[in-house]
Amino acid sequence: MSERSALAARLAPLLLVGALAAALLAGLDDRLTLESADDGAARAVTAAFDAMPDDALVLVGFDPDVGTYAEIRPTVRAVLADLLNRGATLGLVSLTPDGRALAIAELARMDRSEANPRQLIDLGFLPGAEAALVAVARGINGGSQDPIRADLPSPPDLAVVIGGIDLGARSWVEQVQPRIDGLPIVAIAPTVLLPELEPYRASGQLAALIGTPRDGAAYRAQAELGRLERMVDPAAGPSPAAIIVGLLVAIGVLGQAFGSRLAAVMRAARPRDVA
């Protein structure tokens, strides 16, 4: 690698960061919308919430990763505010240490806001991954020795799974759903998990799935949060302008790599033609 190439490689990330910051500061987000034109995913979530009885109990599997939580954070907060605004009681349980750390932070945040503490049940951390999920299902079915049974006033009407890469909606579908008849599961997951979870949504094993920032933005646009609107930052969500700039840079890098390779192949082929 020449000195010029090395310097360019060193400066490229700085230029990317600078371009993203410029996109954020340019004020283009007022003219761009992130919401997906197809709001089917958002409507499915709302329909699942509408189907709950009054004063419903919702079991929230809170296991996002620290690394990917930023992507789903605005949607998660809107979902929690929506459920609380509907009068539901939320029981938060975590099966990963990451999820527990973030659940503690979100519970503290809700405690500082106008959320009614009587609507929040902290079910804590359960170790054991799949085995813990089986214990959760047994506890819901009435196993007196199993965790969470004593803390839940009744069997849940809905499960909302806020998933991450370690443990998420797939594990709930595999371990909890076969053991509890008729428990609908709504999942919120980062984009990277969409290919894994979309088949479960298509087969009906997930009642609803929000798996992209655009679906999340569509849901936030139509959710009625009432006085809990304050729990959700109106400016939350990634900047569409910055995303467009980032994608253009990514396409440029791919094009440059493909072009260099093509040029190398053509250069290699030329002497053979001459020979």
- For residues 154-193, which are near other proteins according to CB under 8 A? 170-171, 173-175, 177-178, 190-192
Nearest to other proteins of 52, 159 (CB atom): 159
Among 8, 32, 51, 247, contact with other proteins (rule: CB under 8 A)? 247
**H or E, element range at 24:** helix 3-25
> Minimum distance from CB of 23 to other proteins (Å)?
8
Among 28, 46, 48, 134, contact with other proteins (rule: CB under 8 A)? 134
Rounded alpha-carbon distances, angstroms, from residue 229 to 80, 214, 219, 224? 11, 20, 14, 8
All residues at 6 or more sequence positions from 267 whose CB lies less than 8 Å from its CB, including other chains: none
The answer to whether 236 touches 244, Cβ cutoff 8 Å, is no
- For residues 25-54, which are near other proteins according to CB under 8 A? 25, 29
All residues at 6 or more sequence positions from 80 whose CB lies less than 8 Å from its CB, including other chains: 60, 90, 106, 110, 231
Q: Specify whether the backbone of 164 is left (phi greater than 0), alpha (psi in -120 to 50) or beta.
A: beta
Beta strands (DSSP E) in 126-207 are 158-162, 185-188
In degrees and rounded to multiples of 5, residue 76 shows phi and psi of -60, -45
Nearest to other proteins of 155, 246 (CB atom): 246
Nearest to other proteins of 86, 214 (CB atom): 214
Cα 208 from Cα 198, distance rounded (Å): 10
Among 10, 31, 267, 272, contact with other proteins (rule: CB under 8 A)? 10
Please tell me whether residue 15 binds other proteins under the rule CB under 8 A.
no
Among 32, 117, 233, 270, contact with other proteins (rule: CB under 8 A)? 233
Site pattern 84..123 for other proteins (x: CB under 8 A): -------------x--xx---x---x--x-----------
Please tell me whether residue 7 binds other proteins under the rule CB under 8 A.
no
The answer to whether 228 touches 113, Cβ cutoff 8 Å, is yes
> Minimum distance from CB of 79 to other proteins (Å)?
14
Token reading at 101: 């750390």
All residues at 6 or more sequence positions from 142 whose CB lies less than 8 Å from its CB, including other chains: 149
- Contact positions toward other proteins, by CB under 8 A? 10, 13-14, 17, 20-21, 24-25, 29, 67-68, 70-71, 73, 77, 97, 100-101, 105, 109, 112, 124-125, 127, 129-131, 134, 147, 170-171, 173-175, 177-178, 190-192, 194-195, 199, 202-205, 213, 233, 235-236, 238-239, 242-243, 246-247, 250
